[in-house]
């Protein structure tokens, strides 16, 4: 997502693991989510979005997995250190009091921050991953954080991972948040799947310093004297990552209405707030045929024009709406407010699949649904021979749930190669060869495969031939003039 947050206001991410149970699958999900977050956070062209990252293990003694390290220029080393989560981490029993372990970890984090230059300009936000109940760990941090810690730390969030399959912890409303030494301490329970963990880590990369939210979603009151509920949301594209965008485009976000769609662009530094009004409830299976364009996340806003209490209460309302829609398996049909004669987007809003947020899709107007209006709805009977053949092919395939290894790809290695390679090698070799007598250096085989070049920027072969002929004619003319001068 494009960020309006200046680099000077971005936070350093520190991961603290309270690993008390043997949960190798959870560690694999944490490693995948951290790897993706680090690659995206350090990969925006023209400037890093994540100033630095660190990781440690809560215990006695405290174990440092990854010291505070900047991402720019250190991405391979950071990724190598993160592999220790899979190789070196073993369950630890709490042989001493939890407060002593937390105090030792805080002292080590502050000591690392004191010797880490970016920490003097960027605050550190700590995410504590625990397999125990999050309220106990949250209380320990609230008791021990002081004003001395607030010099480097700005927030601590305790994420309690559900440790039993099919048996989640009792649902609790996360605490409003306590100020411990000017450091916000919050906690919540999360499922340990890679999607939720990635959303948790990437929350430090999304725009948390925008002045205004993107969208106001209004739910009409069910009682005449009641006030309508207005949800304040930020739009995040689900498909395009900022690593794919130049920094000049990724640094601004504007929402604008374009006929029947709300599109995100990157022009200007102000964001127009769009009012979206809910019309009715719709069933999800009937909406799929009318979806127009890619889906978007609607995240609870963190606009700077709002107070912490307003941001927190809005987040609870968004989570409640998302949970209720998921339980009832329905969505919201909504429309952007406008004049009666204006053509505004028609939207369908559903709960996000793996977090307390919403998903928005655009719906094509009825005038464009030609398939439903102009085609015959009669379905011909399929011959038994073809039906049996197709069933045989399908029955021969393996059937299972979607697993994490089914979704693995070469995306992360490709991004690492793209972000770490430089073009300085060719220029340095040219400087070395300048003024030397090595004749075969220009014809040496390239050490890496050349990138494809657009035909518009390639020089046609005819120009090379024409140039060589012209140079040949010029040399003949010069030799003739020198011979003429000698004869004179």
Of 336 and 373, the structure prediction assigns the larger pLDDT to 336
The per-residue pLDDT for range 345-364, each reduced to its tens digit, is 888 999 987 667 888 888 88
User: What's the mean pLDDT in 406-416?
Assistant: 74
Higher pLDDT, 153 or 416: 153
More confident residue, 398 or 353: 398
> What's the rounded mean pLDDT across residues 143-152?
84
Q: Is the pLDDT of residue 148 over 60?
A: yes
Tell me what pLDDT residue 74 has: 86
How does residue 255 score in pLDDT terms, banded at 50, 70 and 90? very low
Cβ contacts of 267-275, under 8 Å, gap ≥ 24: 269/4, 271/4, 271/210, 271/211, 271/212, 271/214, 273/212, 273/213, 273/214, 273/215, 273/216, 274/214, 274/215, 274/216, 274/336, 274/337, 275/215, 275/216, 275/218, 275/336, 275/337
pLDDT for 76 equals: 87
pLDDT band at 44 (very low <50, low <70, confident <90, very high): low
CA-CA distances (angstroms) from residue 142 to 41, 135, 136, 177, 184? 29, 10, 10, 10, 9
Which has more confidence, 373 or 102? Answer: 102
Confidence of residue 7 (pLDDT cuts 50, 70, 90): low
Closest CA to 153 of 188, 133, 176, 181: 181
Domain ranges for the chain: 9-202, 215-373
Closest CA to 265 of 279, 278, 280, 251: 251
- Output the six-digit token pair for 170: 């009792």
The yes-or-no verdict on residue 245 having pLDDT over 50 is: no
- What pTM did the predictor assign? 0.49
CATH topology of domain 215-373: Ku70; Chain: A; Domain 2 (2.40.290)
Say if strands 358-363 and 153-161 run parallel, antiparallel, or are unpaired.
unpaired
> Span 201-219, mean pLDDT?
68
| Residue of 456 and 284 predicted with greater confidence | 284
Whether the pLDDT of residue 398 is over 70: the answer is: yes
pLDDT of residue 129: 92
Mean pLDDT for 256-261 is 36
The per-residue pLDDT for range 422-446, each reduced to its tens digit, is 554 444 444 444 444 444 444 444 4
Q: Which of 265-279, 297-311, 443-457, 460-474 has the highest mean pLDDT?
A: 297-311
Give residues with Cβ within 8 angstroms of 142, minimum separation 6: 178, 180, 185
| Contact in structure between 126 and 155 (CB atoms under 8 Å) | yes
**Which of residues 387 and 412 earns the better pLDDT score?**
387
CB 81 within 8 Å of CB 66: yes
- The pLDDT-based confidence of 415 (bands split at 50, 70, 90) is confident
Q: Give the pLDDT of residue 378.
A: 67
55 pLDDT above the threshold of 90: yes
Range of weakest confidence among 6-10, 306-310, 342-346, 384-388: 6-10
Stretch 1-12: mean pLDDT: 55
> How distant is the alpha carbon of residue 144 from its chain centre?
32
Q: Give the residue from 324, 331, 333, 334 showing the smallest Cα distance to 356.
A: 324
Confidence (pLDDT) at 108? 92
CATH superfamily assigned to domain 9-202: von Willebrand factor, type A domain (3.40.50.410)
Q: What are phi and psi of 348, to 5 degrees?
A: -125, 130
* Residue 31, pLDDT above cutoff 50: yes
Cα distance between residue 488 and residue 483, in whole Å: 9
Residue pLDDT, tens place only, 81-128: 999 888 888 888 777 788 899 999 999 999 999 999 888 888 888 999
Q: Report the pLDDT value the prediction gives residue 339, as an integer from 0 to 100.
A: 75
CB 243 within 8 A of CB 302: no
Highest mean pLDDT among 36-40, 41-45, 80-84, 269-273: 80-84
Q: Identify which of 140-149, 199-208, 443-452 has the greatest average pLDDT.
A: 140-149
The more confident residue out of 450 and 114 is 114
Please state, for a pLDDT cut of 90, what percent of the chain lies above it. 9
């Amino acid at each position: 997502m494009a960020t309006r947050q200046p680099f000077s206001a971005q936070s350093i991410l520190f991961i603290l693991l309270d690993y008390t149970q043997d949960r190798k699958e959870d560690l694999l999900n944490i490693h995948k989510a951290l790897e993706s977050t680090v690659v995206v956070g350090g990969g925006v062209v023209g400037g890093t979005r994540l100033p630095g990252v660190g990781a440690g293990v809560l215990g006695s003694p405290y174990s440092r997995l990854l010291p505070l390290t900047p991402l720019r220029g250190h991405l391979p080393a950071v990724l190598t250190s993160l592999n220790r989560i899979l190789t070196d981490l073993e369950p630890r029993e709490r042989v001493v009091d939890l407060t002593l372990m937390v105090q030792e970890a805080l002292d080590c984090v502050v000591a690392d921050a004191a010797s880490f230059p970016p920490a003097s300009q960027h605050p550190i936000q700590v995410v504590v991953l625990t397999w125990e109940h999050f309220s106990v760990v949250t209380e320990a941090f609230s008791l021990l954080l002081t004003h001395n810690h607030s010099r480097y730390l700005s927030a601590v969030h305790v994420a309690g991972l559900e440790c039993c399959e099919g048996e989640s912890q009792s649902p609790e409303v996360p605490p409003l948040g306590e100020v411990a030494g000017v450091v916000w301490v919050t906690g919540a329970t999360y499922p340990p799947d890679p999607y939720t963990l990635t959303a948790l880590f990437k929350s430090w990369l999304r725009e948390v310093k925008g002045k205004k939210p993107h969208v106001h979603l209004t739910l009409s009151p069910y009682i005449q004297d009641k006030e309508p509920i207005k949800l304040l949301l930020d739009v995040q594209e689900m498909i395009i990552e900022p690593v794919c965008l130049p920094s000049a485009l990724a640094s601004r976000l504007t929402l604008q209405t374009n006929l029947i769609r709300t599109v995100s662009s990157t022009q200007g530094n102000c964001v127009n707030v769009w009012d979206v009004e809910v019309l009715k409830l719709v069933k999800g299976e009937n909406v799929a045929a009318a979806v127009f364009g890619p889906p978007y996340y609607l995240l609870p806003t963190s606009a700077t024009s709002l107070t912490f209490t307003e941001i927190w209460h809005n987040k609870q309302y968004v989570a409640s709406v998302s949970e209720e829609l998921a339980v009832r398996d329905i969505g919201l049909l909504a429309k952007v407010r406008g004049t009666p004669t204006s053509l505004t987007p028609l939207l369908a809003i559903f709960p996000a699949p793996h977090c307390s947020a919403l998903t928005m899709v655009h719906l094509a107007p009825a005038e464009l649904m030609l398939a439903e209006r102009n085609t015959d709805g009669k379905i011909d009977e399929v011959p038994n021979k073809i039906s049996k053949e197709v069933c045989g092919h399908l029955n021969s395939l393996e059937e299972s749930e979607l697993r994490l290894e089914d979704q693995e790809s070469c995306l992360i290695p490709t991004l690492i190669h793209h972000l770490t390679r430089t073009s300085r090698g060719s220029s340095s070799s040219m400087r070395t060869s300048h003024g030397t007598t090595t004749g075969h250096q220009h014809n040496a085989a390239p050490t890496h495969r050349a990138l494809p070049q657009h035909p518009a920027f390639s020089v046609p072969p005819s120009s090379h031939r024409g140039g060589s002929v012209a140079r040949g004619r010029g040399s003949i003319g010069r030799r003739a003039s020198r011979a003429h001068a000698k004869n004179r």
